[in-house]
Amino acid sequence: MEAGEIFRVEGPAKVDVVEGELYAVGAIYRAGQSFTVLRARKLAFKAVSRSKISVMLGPGAVLERARPEEEVIDEWESLASSIELRGVIVIIGALDVGKSTMTAVLANKALMGNKGVAVVDADVGQNDLGPPTTISASRVPRPVTHLRQLQAEKSIFVQSTSLERIWDRAVEAIKRLVDYAKSQWGSDVVIVNTDGWIAGEEAVAYKRSLLSALAPTGIVAIRIGGELDEIVKGFTNVAFARPPPAARTRSKEDRKIHRDMSYGRFIFPVKEISIDLDKLPFCNLVLSKGIIIDNNLMGILSRAINSRIFYAVQSGNLVYAITEGWAIKRVGNVRVFGLPEGFERGLLVGFEDSGGFLLGLGVLKRIYYEKRKAVIYASAKLERSLDKARCIRVGYVRLNENFEEAEKVTQLLRYDLYSSERDGSVRGAGSA
């Protein structure tokens, strides 16, 4: 490669520098060093000086010479060099504009400057560090070509693969992980990679609330046109970038396949675990915490809500009942939350430690109410960590028998005792 020459590779591939120097994703690779490109990922690299390289291509991989107008490698390097890499940097943009790659560019650039670097992946649908439905954080000990080369060190389970109607939880979770990275890891710079939800009033409100909560040193907005204008209005520390012209657009089905593979990575090898709900209760449902209601009172409540009740528990002025269908009704000063029999089967759950951080994911098989026990599919690794678990948070995603995403159970939004450990309030109980 002559100095300034650019190549593009689609993985899986490994690039070894034999002579000279290459620039890729914010880092310099010299003779004897190498980098990898993951399957179905594209990466552009440039010769800093006259160089000789060796490229190993896996099945389906492609190596091609790129024209300068096809890539943004120089523009992104210029932007990365112009940003003050300290504090918190937030990356925003639509789907498939290169946000995770920009995160890696800035992380590598900060590493080259001998900074302590952490990244927070806030894309709950396509999380590269941790499983779907989580917001995850990791330190960056060495240059990476993609965030999937890192593993989540801390994760928070936010229960869904989309943030509509629960984005306030995401703001809280992202802020907690950023603060953790700064206080516990001593990170000089924390780079936050956000999701691609930018359209509509709720998305704008979420992103603006996040930026206000984090008070970032810098914001990198990867935009095609004016789609980010409402989000960044009033913020002065914004650097704009354009997406790579050759960026790959993933279909909705591609994204689901990626999630399905990710669930398996974090649940396999699967074991069937029996949980004593008196010792390890649900965080966000009263079902395992309340006082069991006797048959006489269940009969009265059944007539009041016009639905047969099979089992019910009361906690304060809340009653959670297993009924013939979904139902929320007020009986006097008591609010009755009816859940259909078998509602739990296949629901994704997160095991949380005393700090509210995720220990691991599981899938509910069945709840035995009278025995106050639950059977959950989870990994053997998670089973060994159960002594650290404080509670089990029930999610809004149902998986099938192959641990693939089957549906989103949005009805549960109305039943969730969000932050019940703080105030016992029911968030979102008025809408679903």
Phi, psi of 10 (to 5 degrees): -110, 125
Round to whole Å and give the CA distance between 282 and 349: 9
Does the CA dihedral 407-409-410-411 come out positive or negative?
Answer: positive
Torsion-angle region of 303 (φ positive above 0: left; ψ -120 to 50: alpha; else: beta): alpha
Residue bearing tokens 């802020």: 175
Do the Cβ atoms of 61 and 68 come closer than 8 Å?
Answer: no
Round to whole Å and give the CA distance between 339 and 231: 38
Q: What is the pLDDT of residue 288?
A: 78
Does the CA dihedral 289-387-151-267 come out positive or negative?
Answer: negative
C-alpha distances in Å from residue 187, one per residue of 184, 285, 312: 8, 36, 48
In sequence order, the β-bridge partners of residue 398 are 347, 407
Q: Domain ranges for the chain, please list them.
A: 6-68, 73-250, 266-423
Average pLDDT score, the chain: 91
Round to whole Å and give the CA distance between 104 and 127: 14
Residue 133 has pLDDT above 90, yes or no: yes
Q: What is the DSSP string of 240-263?
A: EEPPPTTPPPPPHHHHHHHHHHHH
Q: What is the pLDDT of residue 419?
A: 37
The mean pLDDT value for 293-313 works out to 92
Question: Going by C-beta distance under 8 Å and a sequence separation of 6 or more, which residues neighbour residue 273?
Answer: 362, 375, 376, 377, 378, 382, 383, 386
% of the chain with per-residue pLDDT over 90? 81
The closest of 333, 399, 387, 338 to 360, measured between CA atoms, is 387
386-419 per-position pLDDT tens digit: 999 999 999 999 999 988 899 999 999 989 875 3
Q: What is the pLDDT of residue 262?
A: 77
User: Does an H or E element contain 118, and which?
Assistant: strand 117-121
Phi, psi of 36 (to 5 degrees): -115, 155
Residue 421 has pLDDT above 60, yes or no: no
SS3 content of the chain, % helix, strand, coil (to 5): 25, 35, 40
Residue 432 has pLDDT above 80, yes or no: no
Chain Cα centroid distance, residue 303:
43
Q: What is the pLDDT of residue 429?
A: 33
93-107 per-position pLDDT tens digit: 999 899 999 999 999
176-223 per-position pLDDT tens digit: 999 999 999 999 999 999 999 999 999 999 999 999 999 999 999 999
CA dihedral 67, 71, 73, 74 (to 10 degrees): 70
Is domain 73-250 classified as CATH 3.40.718.10? no
Name the packing angle between helices 99-112 and 73-82 (round to 10°).
50
Residue 238 has pLDDT above 60, yes or no: yes
Secondary structure of residue 182 in the 3-state scheme? helix
In degrees, rounded to 5, the angle at the alpha carbon of residue 321 between the alpha carbons of residues 318 and 326 is 105
